[in-house]
Amino acid sequence: MSATMIDYGTLGERAAAGVKPKALSDEQKIARAKEAFIAGMDADMATYLESCIHCGMCAEACHFYLATQDAKYTPIYKLEPLKKVYRRELAPTRWLNRLTTRDITVADLEQWQELAYDSCTQCGRCSLLCPMGIHIQSMIQVVRNGLAAAGLAPAELQAVSDEQRDKASILGAGPDKLREIVERVRAKGIDVPLDKDKAEVLVLSSALDFLKDEGVLAATANIMNKLGASWTIRSDGFESANFGALAGDKQAQKRISKRVIDAAIAAGAKKVIVAECGHAYPVLRWEAATLYGKELPFEFLSVAEYLGQELKAGRLKLKKAGNGSAHVTFHDPCKIGRMGGSFDESRDVLKALGVKLTEMESHGRTNLCCGGGGGVAMLKSAQTLRRKAFELKREEVDRTGAPTVVTACNTCMQNLEMGKAWLNWDKNVVNLVQLVSDNLA
Amino acid sequence: MNEGLYLQGMTLLDFARGPALRWAVVIFVIGVVWRLTALLLASRKPLEPAKGSATAGGVKTLLTRSAPAHELEKNIVFQHYSGYAWHISMFIVLLFFAPHMLFFKDILGFGWPTLPNLFIDFFTVVTIGILLVLLARRLMNPVLRQISTMDDYISWIIAFLPFLSGIMSFKHITFGMSYETVLGLHILSICLLLVWFPFGKLMHALFIWPSRYKVGAAFARRGVRA
């Protein structure tokens, strides 16, 4: 597949240019960060922080540390401001800790922007290695919440988060752009039931897909039509991505995911299919109901999960794939796999397609991140670091000998495409939904 | 007997195995219970339907985290096995040195077989050696240096002293002190350990279990083996 590349970094930078920094004094920044840290801290996190023995083993799971050997990328170190606030304000031994732990400063918070955003994709690999069982990934989000509250989220992410919260669009692509894209898909002879009143399945899309072209939506629509599903895509709740979550702006995250929930309830949907967008899946599947405050009358599925289910039920019928994809390796998107719990469905689909699958050394739950998730792909400041981390991925892919990498996440896809350009790398990168759409029997 | 007179007639050893040890145990027990209950706050209940049993996953991770997956373990071989060697040697010395067993037998009322002293010598040297290597690593490795706190060094000293004083009394390396005094110092080093235990990182011996359980449960809820 020849993908038109979009450079999120440049788009993000353009968006960031419009952001006015919040006029907060140093004291206000610290107070707001502390407030968010304390609000985000729960009993589980307290247990994790109490049990850290400062062994540094988590570094050995992190692609950013492994690629650079720079000590500051040690995952637990990325939590340092949160740890300090916990030690001084919440820990049972705080009276003792105050003697040995210095309070956080604005300089700390500013310095940690790079560590909590640029150098963490929240892939969760370190949480699987820690001998004490510390869930570092879950606490990075609290660090981001604190930095965002202090007005210290990267301007790119904050700008898009504000835009998405207020206008329901991402980088200028909102409901109008969706309608335009739907028309383009229809022009290809593929029906798209836009804004149907009632449907069993609500399909989500993402500006991150259609900023590039209409390909992914066309492929998805093609599959849904072939399955004969009662489905719709709604202009009042179509966006999978959630920049509130990426920026660490919890209120924005809540408001953005509520849009999807409201649209699904209005449509009476039983299933909501989250587009191939990494963070979107765990944010909707594992966080949305709790933020919403109620159990939901429908289920969230990633595209891969839905395809896997339909395959198992015998409704999805596939031809054996020929088009240059006969030998593939599968890149597990961290957010769908390790942080989402879906590994087998994508592999079942590949098996049904009859392709030869060679796994990378790190696959499934221990998969190595491509380096672009968690909003990192948007950050211009993270580009050099991202390239270095990508080297590790490239090595693992190369060792499989497969000419094609299949994945099921838009960001992974973009990052792999970028990697091809950076390294003059001769791999085909294909997304699962496209592969399935091309091979419907 | 008058308490003042009682204290006056006491040797360091009497003090160490009498009131010092008693109070150290009291502080240890109260401290540990307090630290653990402080964490038994209500966890937030997620509203999303789970993909797997959190409880089963928690218990599984609690047991299996001692052996991480190959892809993750290959970079931590040294830390992993030095950790095993240290903890196993420490427990062997603690439980299978004859005088230690007799000390516990006094309290518990039953004993168990012990190891010949030659083995105890060996395991004591292993523990001391590993502690020294790990300290050097903590001081020199940039990853460790930047995440180390006062607690790490205090806890290191407190863990080191019982072995140092233990080998001194066992080998009669007394630097002119009486054997009883050195033995008294050994017991006092244990008292110090018991008193410090609830306040520093030695608590990891207990926190490891809820922490592993929780990470296992969090991942299991999402259908992932942690």
pLDDT digits (tens, 9 = 90+) for B45-84: 789 999 999 999 999 999 999 988 888 988 899 999 999 9
CB contact under 8 A, A77 and B72: no
Contacts of A293 in chain B (CB under 8 A): 47
* Strand A404-407 to A231-232 pairing: unpaired
- Nearest C-alpha of chain A: how many angstroms from B132? 15
**Strand, helix or coil for residue A232:** strand
pLDDT range class, residue B1, cuts 50, 70, 90: very low
CB contact under 8 A, A100 and B151: yes
Task: Write out pLDDT tens, residues A382-397.
Answer: 999 999 999 999 999 9
CB contact under 8 A, A50 and B207: yes
Per this entry, what is the length of chain A?
441
**pLDDT value of position B2:** 47
Residue B36 has pLDDT above 90, yes or no: no
CB contact under 8 A, A289 and B51: no
pLDDT range class, residue B40, cuts 50, 70, 90: low
Residue A316 has pLDDT above 90, yes or no: yes
Task: Write out pLDDT tens, residues B203-212.
Answer: 999 999 999 9
Residue A5 has pLDDT above 90, yes or no: no
Q: List the strands of the sheet with A327-331, edge to edge.
A: A356-357, A327-331, A404-407, A428-431
Cβ(A325)–Cβ(A435) under 8 Å? yes
CB contact under 8 A, B222 and A71: no
For residue B67, the one-letter residue type is: A
Q: Which residues pair with A431 in a beta bridge?
A: A407
pLDDT range class, residue A326, cuts 50, 70, 90: confident
Phi, psi of A126 (to 5 degrees): -65, -30
Contacts of B86 in chain A (CB under 8 A): none
Mean pLDDT of chain B: 91
Q: CB pairs below 8 Å between A and B: how many?
A: 170
Q: What average pLDDT does the segment A317-344 reach? A: 88
Interface contact A44, partner B, CB < 8 A? yes
CA distance B38 to B176: 46
Task: Report which secondary-structure segment, H or E, holds A110.
Answer: helix A106-113
Task: Write out pLDDT tens, residues B89-119.
Answer: 999 999 999 999 999 999 899 999 999 999 9
Residue A3 has pLDDT above 50, yes or no: no
**pLDDT value of position A92:** 86
Interface contact A55, partner B, CB < 8 A? yes
**Strand, helix or coil for residue A271:** strand
Q: What average pLDDT does the segment A140-147 reach? A: 97
Task: Write out pLDDT tens, residues B173-205.
Answer: 989 999 999 999 999 999 999 999 999 999 999
- Closest Cβ–Cβ partner in B44, B201, B216 for A42: B44
- Nearest C-alpha of chain B: how many angstroms from A364? 9
Radius of gyration of chain A (CA): 21
Residue B9 has pLDDT above 80, yes or no: no
Task: Write out pLDDT tens, residues A78-121.
Answer: 999 999 999 999 998 899 899 989 999 999 999 999 999 999 99
- Closest Cβ–Cβ partner in B48, B66, B204 for A51: B204
CB contact under 8 A, B72 and A128: yes
Lowest mean pLDDT among A322-331, A371-380, A398-407: A322-331
**pLDDT value of position A21:** 73
- Nearest C-alpha of chain B: how many angstroms from A365? 7
**pLDDT value of position A128:** 96
**pLDDT value of position A14:** 74
- Closest Cβ–Cβ partner in B76, B152, B208 for A60: B76
CB contact under 8 A, A289 and B62: no
Give the global pTM. Answer: 0.92
CB contact under 8 A, B201 and A54: yes
Contacts of B139 in chain A (CB under 8 A): none
Contacts of B79 in chain A (CB under 8 A): 55-57
Q: Which residues 130-149 in chain A show a CB within 8 A of chain B?
A: 130-135, 138
Residue A431 has pLDDT above 90, yes or no: yes
pLDDT range class, residue B6, cuts 50, 70, 90: low
Q: What average pLDDT does the segment A270-294 reach? A: 96
CA distance A375 to A383: 12
Percent of chain A predicted with pLDDT > 90? 87
Mean pLDDT of chain A: 93
Closest residue by Cα to residue A224 from A258, A283, A269: A269
CA distance A353 to A235: 33
Interface contact A50, partner B, CB < 8 A? yes
CA distance A136 to A213: 36
Q: DSSP of A323-343, one letter per residue? A: SS-SEEEEE--TTTTTTT---
CA distance B114 to B105: 12
- Closest Cβ–Cβ partner in A47, A66, A299 for B39: A47
CA distances from A23 to A29, A65, A81, A305, A323 (A): 10, 34, 22, 44, 55
**pLDDT value of position A16:** 77
Task: Write out pLDDT tens, residues A350-371.
Answer: 999 999 999 999 999 999 999 9
CA distance A197 to A178: 17
